[in-house]
Amino acid sequence: MKQTRAFKKKKHLNSSTRFTKMATVAECNVSPPQPAGSGNNDTSCSSGLLGSATPDLLLALANSDLRDANRIIEEKDTELGLVKSNASKDAELAKVSLELERSKASLALKDAELELTR
């Protein structure tokens, strides 16, 4: 079975410097999993940048992608925390506003009662 993997050009900002990471298309022959000990698992890549890539280079690319993913997750967690914080503050403000309106209504009712008793 043949699989084609394409790694697209990725751009990201790191300390205000733009880096571009790019890999070319590589065709890899991947055989179905064989029973342990059969020694017939062919996973060799035949062409492109990844075809001649060392395991260290592949590991570096994977680690870079993992760092990028972790950075994005941290940014989204921070955004979510801010949204939750803002929503909590908005809810508290609405609660205080409602209490203020109740107090105003209570005062208006007391004023009306005073006017009736005069």
- At 46-86, the pLDDT tens digits run 445 556 678 888 888 899 999 999 999 999 999 999 999 99
| Residue 23, helix vs strand vs coil | coil
DSSP state of 32: P
What's the pTM?
0.39
Q: Are 57 and 36 in contact (CB under 8 A)?
A: no
Q: Answer yes or no: are the C-beta atoms of 70 and 62 closer than 8 Å.
A: no
Question: What whole-number distance in Å separates Cα of residue 87 and Cα of residue 79?
Answer: 12
Instruction: Please name every residue paired with 3 in a beta bridge, in sequence order, or none if there are none.
Output: 28
